[in-house]
Amino acid sequence: MRQTLDFLLNDWLRVEQLNTRARFAEHSAETYGAVLDLAEKLAREKFAPYNRLADQQEPHFDGERVHLPEPTHAAMRAYAESGLLAASQDEAWGGMQLPCVIEMAAQSFISKASVAMSGYAMLTQGNANLLMAHGSARQREVFARREFEGRWFGTMCLSEPQAGSSLSDIATRAEPDGADFEQDPLGPRYRLRGHKMWISGGEHEMSENIVHLVLAKIPGPDGQLVPGTRGISLFIVPKQIVDASGELSGERNDVVLAGLNHKLGYRGTSNCLLNFGEGRFTPGGRAGAVGYLVGRPGEGLKCMFHMMNEARIGVGLGAVMLGYAGYEASLEYARQRPQGRAMTAAGKDAASPQRPIIEHADVKRMLLAQKSYVEGGLALALFCARLVDELHTAEPEAAAEAGRLLEVLTPIAKSWPSEWCLEANSLAIQVLGGYGYTRDFPVEQYWRDNRLNMIHEGTHGIQGLDLLGRKVVMEGGRALLTLAGRINKSIEAALQRPGLSELAHGLAAALARLGRATKDAWASGQPEEALANATPYLQAFGHVVLAWIWLELALAVEGVDSDFAQGKRAAARYFHAYELPKIEAWLAVVSRREALCREMQDAWY
């Protein structure tokens, strides 16, 4: 994988160009390489060997505490000590001032080694990054700093048992805590009461404190909660009460574990139902979880989306790396497992020795499919991270363009790997056959772990609505046009290379087809008609984006004669030959605004 990563970063994304910018001026190919070395070593030594253990010894609650296996503690300690938690922060904050794209490349090793064990770190980083963007100076100093140091961990508390995809229905209440509630140095102080569901890292004993970022509603003057998402505000609710300087007061906040969820996979990350304000603890002498407002009242969702967009790309990367882990495991297996013989016109010679299964066309197909999914997915994740760097450090016009591309690509970066790198994991099981179905090999766990990714941080259906309902129509379709412009540039470049013109023509046709379907979907102007087939649209859009990514990678190895370059060309051809043609089936129903599903009646099932 390292060779592919280096290729993507250096030959394709040209990360060295970032070093001309003030923020990254201290960096070089050497410092980037050192960070990747560090992450690779950390992943190999502290995460990978315990990934199965973290699955087998899932978190358990003894009524008082949540227990995780000791290697998870050790891995998180090592992660914190590595400095990677603050990798992209300012040096003044103890950070490395790394580009986001390098941070994500480093993260890819950790995610591949154990996506579940590393979940705590991802959440803590996302949480602290949000506070850096929206918190007050004191909130950053008290909470974010300790998170970057790995002393405190973070969570994001959005869903409730009755409100998952529909966040406008959250019922957690936040009421001003006393007459002086606005004078607290940590921020306007409220008392929260409610229940939060699916909280990853919601309880454990790995850190001195847990910083919950909680969405809740401040009642109006009539004591009622405002319907809709506009009523939602964001609060810091620390597990342990802290004073204004960030010292633990020794008092426990009124946020309590109600129960652990027992999952299909991803078991290394504890997942919790949390009760806020039920009176189990009484900070300051009374019930109610103490929380500090972040940003302004009613802007909670906007702030949270800062974290969610990052989290969505992170989910996509996690899905990719699970796929990558399965690809590597099945490739290794296929190289050493003898079974069957070559198929020839003369039949098979049963007396000859068996051949490694990697020599069979169908096994090659399954490996090539995986390669195209996972390397393509990794390229997409890094491309998005590179856009984040553009957004933050490029000239205004380029930054704005990067921002638009990010808007339209985020639903793809999240959903496409969740679906196709899961399929990669299924193919990895298939390559191993019966052995792949046992817990003696790692591939079944990857498949179980990966199934979460189409669900959390916005389901597949939600991503489709976001893409077709918001992203491709916003600003009169400007983001989509920006993406199409980029794709067309790649097509034009590829048309100059004889070996790539077929792929270029195929992609041009697919892009035109996607554009037509987008128009057709909205031709009647009725959202319920356009969006009834938002998921097939999402699937087709994702395949077009990946076909473009693969054309880009084929361009990047154009003229290179090596096994590595041949592999990239083969994967590009695979994606264009076997995958891209699938879009027609998805887009046909989009284009004719197929009404079958929305007209289906409950009684007919």
Q: What is the maximum alpha-carbon separation in the chain?
A: 91
Q: How far is the CB of 488 from a second copy (least distance, A)?
A: 24
Q: Which is nearer to a second copy, 242 or 545 (CB)?
A: 545
Q: Which is nearer to a second copy, 189 or 576 (CB)?
A: 576
Q: How far is the CB of 491 from a second copy (least distance, A)?
A: 21
| Active-site residue identified among 375, 419, 457, 579 | 457
| DSSP labels, 4-54 | HHHIIIIIIS-GGGGGGSGGGTT--HHHHHHHHHHHHHHIIIIIGGGHHHH
Q: CB count, 10 Å around CB of 356?
A: 15
Q: Are 356 and 337 in contact (CB under 8 A)?
A: yes
What SS3 class is residue 509?
helix
Q: How far is the CB of 419 from a second copy (least distance, A)?
A: 10
**14 in the Ramachandran plot: left (φ > 0), alpha (ψ -120 to 50) or beta?**
left
Residues 6+ apart with CB under 8 A from 166: none
Q: How far is the CB of 473 from a second copy (least distance, A)?
A: 14
Q: Which is nearer to a second copy, 292 or 446 (CB)?
A: 446
Q: Which is nearer to a second copy, 340 or 485 (CB)?
A: 340
CA-closest candidate to residue 593, choices 509, 484, 541, 519: 519
| DSSP labels, 276-325 | ESSSSS-GGGSSSEEEEEESSTT-HHHHHHHHHHHHHHHHHHHHHHHHHH
Q: Is position 205 annotated as part of the catalytic site?
A: no
d(CA 133, CA 202): 22
Residue with tokens 């990239």: 568
Q: How far is the CB of 98 from a second copy (least distance, A)?
A: 30
Q: How far is the CB of 269 from a second copy (least distance, A)?
A: 12
- 83-111 burial, b if ≥16 CB within 10 A, otherwise e? bbbbbbbeeebebbbbbbbbbbbbbbbbb
Q: Which is nearer to a second copy, 182 or 349 (CB)?
A: 349
d(CA 410, CA 593): 24
Q: Which is nearer to a second copy, 265 or 283 (CB)?
A: 265
Please identify every residue annotated as catalytic. Answer: 457
